[in-house]
Amino acid sequence: MANKTALVIGATGLVGEETLKQLLDSAQYDRVIALTRRPLDIKHAKLENAVVDFDKPEQYSKIKVDDVYCAMGTTIGKAGSQAAFKRVDYEIPMQVAKQALANGAAQFILVSSMGADAKSLVFYSRTKGELEQALSQLKYKTVLIFRPSILLGNRKEHRTGEAVGRFVAEKLSFLFAGPLAKYRGTPADLLAKAMIKEAGKNVSGVHIIENGEIFEIAEK
Ligand SMILES: NC(=O)c1ccc[n+]([C@@H]2O[C@H](COP(=O)([O-])OP(=O)(O)OC[C@H]3O[C@@H](n4cnc5c(N)ncnc54)[C@H](OP(=O)(O)O)[C@@H]3O)[C@@H](O)[C@H]2O)c1
């Protein structure tokens, strides 16, 4: 056993759920903490589920972990406003990142997005880029930023906009051959695998892992 603890935020989502499952199966960690706003329905000897109100940081200020996995996020439609979106896709992750760092965390592993760019004119991509930048400036030993394309997997909720992209990514996958391969849809399980594998390498510094590399890491 590695005697390491992982923290996951966004553990009830498509990528987060898969990440949590794989973390529990991984020999890299002997303890996994999931910080959620509603109780998880899974039980595991390694798992601790801390149910918190993310607007009350004092509820999660004492958590001591080695590696933080962030798969938290929403959509502007679901959040209702740009400010509410930014709260979930920037402010809460930063709050967790700062508190975990203050308690000794070494690695932060972020699910960002293809096209993330702090200078983008598109609010979504700009927010993702701003989070990447802000996290990179914290004094983590390692920041791993994963930039997937459209996520593939069994999403419980229906999202019309994404459904079109997913149809193209899944049914017309032959379009994403050769130089276009780097744009193909990213299966959530493969992304989780790549994140945990990369975190196990214990590299230092800030590393951006683009969509194409996610496949290379996971499939190696
Ligand atoms: N969808 C795509 O195709 C795509 C593509 C590229 C990148 N991404 C990014 O990848 C990440 C993971 O995406 P995903 O599709 O796996 O996400 P998801 O299924 O929508 O899950 C989002 C997670 O964030 C949590 N969350 C949302 N709003 C919250 C709030 N106000 N307070 C606390 N927790 C909250 C959810 O908790 P609850 O279950 O409690 O709501 C859930 O655990 C996101 O950052 C997303 O932007 C997505």
Q: Compute, in angstroms, the gap from residue 24 CA to the centroid of ligand 1.
A: 20
Bridge-based pairing state of the strands 5-9 and 67-70:
parallel
**pLDDT tens-digit series, residues 192-219:** 999 999 999 989 999 999 999 999 999 8
Site residues for ligand 1, CB cut-off 6 Å: 10-16, 37-38, 54, 71-74, 88-89, 111, 113, 148, 150-151, 162
Q: Tell me the C-alpha distance between 72 and 13, whole Å.
A: 7
- Domain of residue 162, CATH code: 3.40.50.720
pLDDT at residue 1, rounded to an integer: 56
pLDDT at residue 2, rounded to an integer: 74
CB 194 within 8 A of CB 26: no
Put residue 118 in one of left, alpha, beta given phi > 0 → left and psi -120 to 50 → alpha.
Answer: alpha
Across the strands, what pairs with 209? 146
Q: Tell me the C-alpha distance between 157 and 101, whole Å.
A: 33
Closest to 145 measured CA to CA, from 203, 99, 184? 203
**pLDDT tens-digit series, residues 147-196:** 999 999 987 776 676 777 777 667 777 777 777 778 889 999 999 999 99
Q: Compute, in angstroms, the gap from residue 9 CA to the centroid of ligand 1.
A: 9
Q: Compute, in angstroms, the gap from residue 19 CA to the centroid of ligand 1.
A: 12
pTM equals 0.95
Residues tagged active-site: 124, 128
Q: What is the mean pLDDT of residues 62-88?
A: 97
The percent of residues in the chain predicted with pLDDT above 90, rounded, is 83
Q: What is the mean pLDDT of residues 69-98?
A: 97
Q: What is the mean pLDDT of residues 114-136?
A: 98
Q: Is the dihedral of CA 185, 146, 71, 19 positive or negative?
A: positive
φ, ψ dihedrals at 17, nearest 5°: -65, -45
Closest to 6 measured CA to CA, from 144, 109, 95, 91? 109
The DSSP call for residue 116 is -
Contacts of residue 104, Cβ cutoff 8 Å, sequence gap at least 6? 64, 66
* SS3 of residue 78 by DSSP: helix
* Helix residue spans in the chain (DSSP H): 14-25, 76-79, 82-86, 92-102, 123-137, 160-171, 188-199, 211-219
Domain that holds residue 201: 5-219
The domain tally of the chain equals: 1
The DSSP call for residue 38 is S
Q: Which long-range contacts (CB under 8 A, 24 or more apart) does 91-98 make?
A: 92/9, 92/54, 93/9, 93/131, 93/135, 94/131, 94/134, 94/135, 95/54, 95/57, 96/7, 96/9, 96/35, 96/60, 96/68, 96/70, 97/68, 97/70, 97/135, 97/138, 97/140, 98/138
Q: Tell me the C-alpha distance between 75 and 58, whole Å.
A: 26
